[in-house]
């Protein structure tokens, strides 16, 4: 196998940096209620399977999660969608990232840990840069399904 060129090495570093930054944008955008900007992290027909319950398909449906009653109530009480670092497998124009997410929320007696989940992000290179094609998020409640997302 020939050694990678400088161009290829730069490209791989830029790809990984772009993916990391894209995923790091999710929490801040979600917790500031920026529904359109959250949705724009995904490709137009991307999907977000959240909490092992529902799957939002397409940017409008993803934006509706952020604009919806559940998320708005969380924000009004005080919440943070904290992500852990992601392990990224890059393969040309596609990538998979794996990591944890934790939702903290404020209650009258202080902050509590509301949900702790496994996440699998499937990403794709587009003309506008890297975007999420699919994110699957499932609570780490002992279920095999959630654990499998981290593999």
Binding site for its own copies (CB under 8 A): 6, 9-10, 13-14, 16-17, 20-21, 23-25, 27-29, 31-34, 75-88, 98-100, 102, 104, 106, 110-118, 139-143, 146-151
**Which is closer to its own copies, CB of 37 or CB of 49?**
37
Give, in order, the Cα–Cα distances in Å from 113 to each of 8, 81, 110, 145.
42, 10, 10, 21
Question: What angle (nearest 5°) sits at the alpha carbon of residue 140, between those of residues 95 and 130?
Answer: 20
Nearest-approach distance from CB 42 to its own copies, in angstroms? 16
**Which is closer to its own copies, CB of 60 or CB of 148?**
148
76 — phi, psi (to 5°)? -65, -35
Nearest-approach distance from CB 3 to its own copies, in angstroms? 11
3 state SS of 127: coil
Helix (H) or strand (E) holding 90: strand 87-91
Question: What are 104's two structure tokens?
Answer: 């903290």
Tokens 């609570």 belong to residue = 139
Nearest-approach distance from CB 133 to its own copies, in angstroms? 19
**Which is closer to its own copies, CB of 64 or CB of 116?**
116
**Which is closer to its own copies, CB of 60 or CB of 77?**
77
Question: What are 118's two structure tokens?
Answer: 């496994």
Nearest-approach distance from CB 118 to its own copies, in angstroms? 7
């Amino acid at each position: 196998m020939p050694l990678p060129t400088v161009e290829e090495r730069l490209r791989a570093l830029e790809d990984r940096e772009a993916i990391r930054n894209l995923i790091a944008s999710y929490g801040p955008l979600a917790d500031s209620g920026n529904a359109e900007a959250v949705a724009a992290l995904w490709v137009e027909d991307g999907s977000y399977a959240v909490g092992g319950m529902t799957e939002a398909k397409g940017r409008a449906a993803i934006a509706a999660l952020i604009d919806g009653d559940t998320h708005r109530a969380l924000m009004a009480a005080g919440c943070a969608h904290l992500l852990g670092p992601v392990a990224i497998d890059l393969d040309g124009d596609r990538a998979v990232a794996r990591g944890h997410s934790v939702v903290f929320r404020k209650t009258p007696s202080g902050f509590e840990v509301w949900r702790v989940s496994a996440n699998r992000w499937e990403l794709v290179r587009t003309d506008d840069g890297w975007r999420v094609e699919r994110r699957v998020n499932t609570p780490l409640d002992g279920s095999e399904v959630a654990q499998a997302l981290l593999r």
